[in-house]
A and B are shown apart, each in its own frame.
Chain A
Amino acid sequence: MAWMKTKSITTVLGDIMKKTPSEKKIQAKMQPGIITYGGFLGTDKRSYLQIIADDEKSLEALGKTAEELADRLEYFQQVSFDSFEAQAVVDDKWEVETEVVRGYLPCPFMHQGMYRKSYTTVKNLQSQKSFTFSSLNIHLIRVHHFFEGRNSHFRLDPAEIVKELF
């Protein structure tokens, strides 16, 4: 029973009891090498549910919703698509560019449909900070409130997005 010393009994029982088979499948699909090379969780040790819960708390503190952030990212993506993916300046404040490669990605939450492998980069011209996101990122944020785990390839930090892209 030494392992129990490192975790409280409620945490252990919570870990055992909380995840439904569907949640376990989703967590498995987010691992490296299943849908993408690096997966969706990065170096994060939290479950995807906990990541969502923590980011929702951040959003609440920021006074924004996941839908608003998704709308904002989609706005930049659409401007880029309208410019045929070439580099374009948006509202004199941001530079946007999209790269599309062959193929599609499925949603790890097992929604039907595939998301085009399009990667939009938005750069704040004042701070020079840039963010890259895919069509799948927009879906994950809008529908699942999932911004990916720490250090994952396409992690988008809600606070950074609000600070730099609004």
Chain B
Amino acid sequence: MNRQDRSHLRRVLQIWAVLSVVGVALAIVIVPLVSPVTGSSVEGFANLTDLVFTIIAVPIAAFVWVFVGYSLVAFRERGAPAGRAEDLEDGPPLQASGRQQVAWLAITGALAIFFVGWGMFGFYKQTIDPPADPLVVNVTGQQWTWTYDYPSLGVQSHVLELPLDRPVSFRVTSDDVLHGFVINGLGVAMDANPGIWVTAPTVTPTKLGSYSARCIELCGLYHTYMWTPVEVVSPSAFAAWAKALHANPSAAT
């Protein structure tokens, strides 16, 4: 590496460092603003995952973009090329050193191991101490809505009603094609596969309010309309709702 190359490299690293610091600062400010409300025992970890992964991704993305952008500007062909375009020659080939290759493998390998470990830690946290008696909700996806069956209560509904602070275990399936069951704000995201029941770790709603369940798997004509309301209510209100629905199934709207 000659003196001029070292100058380019120093400049690139300086730009990268500045952009990384600015990007990480922006991520710390912006990501929490655009994250869903934390409405369950799971969603907080999901939002934290978004923040941490974004913070890690910013310097990596900046590293690539700065090198590409700087190269386009600094090493572009200036002026009209002499002769025919076919006669232009490429620059000298780059040969990475052994240290660079080891560093590249070490950094990317460490990142991959960190991401896997993070996911396993999150899954471990959700499954290490499962509640003994969760409320089981059977969720069926069908073009183009979700329906909810509460086997312990003997009721079915088009609206997903959940009691506050009670663990819920979702069992999800599909009657036709692949769907994706997601509740924004509660950290629920599960595949709905035809003929198969999928069960995820239990989720405990921790905040009263209205949420929505949607399909995130493109499933047909009315995919964008495939949603249902989700209401997290007090335990007494939930009991009253279930009792009323049991007495009058036609009110399942």
Partners in one complex: no
Give B contacts to A, CB under 8 Å.
none
Give A contacts to B, CB under 8 Å.
none
